[in-house]
Structure formats: C-alpha cells, structure tokens
Amino acid sequence: MKKLQVGILGATGTVGQRMIQLLAEHPWFEVAAVAASGSSAGKPYREAAHWLLDTPLPPLVAALEVQPCRPHLDCDFVLSSLPSDVAKVAEPEFAAAGFPVISNAGTHRMTTDVPLLIPEINGDHVAAIESQHARFGGKGFIVTNPNCSTIGLVIPLAALHESFGVEAVHVVTMQALSGAGYPGVASLDVIDNVIPIGLDEEHKMETEPLKILGRWDGAGFEPADIRVSAMTHRVHVRDGHLEACSVKLARAASAEEVTEAFATFTSKIDELELPTAPKPVIIVDDRIDRPQPRLDRDRSRGMAVVVGPVVPCPVLDYKFRLLSHNTIRGAAGAAVLNAELLYRKGLIR
Ligand code: NAP
C-alpha cells in the first residue's frame, strides 16, 4: 500500500515534534513536508528544530527542508499545530486550496460547521464537513481536536453521560509544562510554584465539552445541556495533565455503578481498528494515590485516559481524578487518530 503523504504545519514545535514521532512508523501515513515560521523556513529540519523527544529524529524528516506555511506543500493532507493566531489565516487558506486540515489549534474549534472530534465519542460529527464544501469549494475542509485538558475530561464524561446523564461538572486542572509549548513557561516562574492559567483556558474547558457531547443536526451543533465550571493551573510537571473532577448526575447511581461505567465504556471506533486508538480508552486505576503524571501518562502509548477511584462528593454526587498525556492524547495523538478516522471514512485519500 502506498502511504498517504502528510504535511505538518508548526512542525518544529512541541506538538509538531510529537506528530513526527507518532508518524515515524505509521502503517498508513508518512511525513512528506514540514512547515514552520519564517525563521525556520529554508533550513533542514534537523537544524531548525530543537528536538526534545526521547526517540531519535527520523532521518528522512531530519533531511527535509522546512517550508513556509503556504498552501503549496506536496502532500495529501496537513496536520496543523500552529499557534492560534497563525492558524486563523493559514488553515482556511490550506482548506481553500483543497487540503484536508486536521488541526490542534483553538481557532476554529467552535466554528459552526467544523467538527470538534474525539473519534471514540463523536465520530458521526464528521457529517458537518459536507457543509464546508460551500465555503472552501473543492475537497478541502477543517476538523479540529479539543483543547488538551478538555480531551482528558470529556472522555470519562462521555461514559457517565451515556449511562446516567451528566448535569453539572466542577473540574480543577494541574497542567504540565509541555502544554505551554517550547520554551514555554520561564523556569524561575514555575519552580517551587503553581500558576493559575487564566480565563481563556477555563472558557475552552467550559464550552468545548458541550459541543463534543452535543448533536450535529445537519445545520449546526446542538450543545449538550451540562454546566461545566473549570479552574486551570500550570504545575511543575513535564508531561501529563491531572484533573480533579466532581460531577452531578441526572440519574442516581452508586459509586460502583459509576466505576463500572468507566471500566466498561466501549469506544464507538473499536471495530474500525484504527492504529492509534487505545483499547480500552479509559483505564480505571482504583489505587487511592493514582493516577500520577510520571507513572501513568504513558499507559496505552499515551492515548488512554486514566481514572482514579470514584468517591462520594458532599457538594455534587461523585468525585474522581483523571490523567491524560497532553501532547499525545491531548494533541498530536488526537490529530493522528482524527486523520485515521477520516481515512477509514474515505474523507482523506
Ligand atoms: P510551540 O512549541 O510554540 O510550536 C509552535 C510552532 O508553530 C512552531 O513550529 C513554530 O515554528 C510555528 N510557528 C510560530 N509562528 C509561526 C508563523 N508565524 N508562521 C508559521 N509557523 C509558525 O507550540 P505547541 O505547544 O506545539 O502548540 C501548537 C498549537 O497546538 C497551539 O495552537 C497550541 O494551542 C495547540 N496545542 C498544544 C498542546 C500542547 O500540549 N503543547 C495541546 C493541544 C493543543 P518556529 O519553530 O519556526 O517558530
């Protein structure tokens, strides 16, 4: 089988590097083009990128010349890990030039006709792509994956929503440094410290789950009727976002039933055999001191969400902690999984 050729926008960054790592031995896709800012364009990738991962830079990618982010790349589709302001202009340009754009950036996530995809939960939202044809003309379109903290939260929420209905959520995050990109947060700001991240991150966590758990009605997304309150923090951890979550359920359930709903949650894409899909997508670890970022972020190659013990909450119904690898499950792995779903559905070829 001839592999599909992938272009990576923002290829030198934290998420771009993960994309290259995840595609190094991918059975369907291979990296054919890398693009970044004007300061990297024209250089071989090995010189432009400060490679931070603990696997070697694939030699074929190392030798590629970094290109500017303009829609002249020689590839079948693009994965984008551009900063939001750059994505705002560049991604529609690529879509209008006929490229499927599979994006990590926040810019287009809440746009009416753009799917905010987590294949295990709402793969049927790809139906919205049809509505983009009027905008972009040819075979180009944009799909997005959620914010890195939203992804970890919404996968367990989907299990609870399916079994009992979820009415309200309160979540407090402890987010890893790699979530801020490279070089990210200054070391003297974060050593011996915890930094509140701010309202924009909290707004994403409070709105994106409603679109993901909502319904595409042929013209727009009808959001799920759930109230979410989020408080977000940057902590001195390299990778892996830990979240402390309380939920109010629509239907009464015991703690054992809630745990069972997590443990037995079946992904809607299991039968598609997507190479990057974790099985199961939720791992329950009921040890009282788990999950922990350093010990649990790489479970199922960084693609599973690890949920700790479920205990009664005196304010809402139940509380639990969850962990997901922010640059894999929350970013690069999420985008690659979206590409695999689109490939299986014949939307990229
Ligand atoms: P990053 O490490 O700062 O990398 C940014 C990338 O964008 C670099 O390749 C950079 O190229 C490129 N770039 C910057 N300005 C550009 C311009 N004007 N034109 C073209 N390329 C430009 O950031 P990151 O953490 O990888 O994040 C990338 C995107 O993914 C952001 O939208 C972020 O919000 C989102 N995201 C990140 C995470 C995470 O865990 N890090 C998770 C989910 C989503 P140069 O090297 O040439 O500057």
Calculate the average pLDDT of the chain.
97
Tell me which residue of 231, 214, 245, 216 sits closest to 324, measured CA to CA. 245
Whether 170 is a known active-site residue: answer no
Identify which of 8, 12, 15, 31 to mutate to test ligand 1's pocket (most ligand atoms within 8 A of the CB). 15
Q: What is the pLDDT of residue 138?
A: 83
pLDDT grade for 1, boundaries at 50, 70 and 90: confident
Is residue 75 among the annotated active site residues?
A: no
First to last CA, the chain: 12
Catalytic residue among 148, 161, 245, 325: 148
How many Å lie between the centroid of ligand 1 and the Cα of residue 111? 20
Ligand 1 neighbourhood includes 84 CB (under 6 angstroms): yes
Please work out whether the CB of residue 81 comes within 6 Å of at least one atom of ligand 1: yes
Tell me how far the alpha carbon of residue 217 lies from the centroid of ligand 1, in angstroms: 33
Q: pLDDT tens across 298-324, in order? A: 999 999 999 999 999 999 999 999 999
* Catalytic hit among 170, 241, 245, 325: 241
> Which protein residue has the closest C-alpha to ligand 1 atom 14?
37
The pTM (predicted TM-score) of the whole model is 0.97
Give 168's pLDDT tier (boundaries 50, 70, 90). very high
66-71 mean pLDDT = 97
Q: pLDDT per residue over 88-123, tens digit each?
A: 999 999 999 999 999 999 999 999 999 999 999 999
pLDDT of residue 333: 98
Tell me whether residue 136 is exposed, middle or buried, using C-beta atoms within 10 angstroms of its C-beta: 0 to 12, 13 to 18, 19 or more. Answer: buried
Answer whether residue 286 shows pLDDT above 90: yes
Given a cut of 90, is residue 197 above it in pLDDT? Answer: yes
Closest-CA residue, ligand 1 atom 23, reads 181
Ligand 1 closest atom vs CA 68: 20
Cβ–ligand 1 contact at 240 (below 6 Å):
no
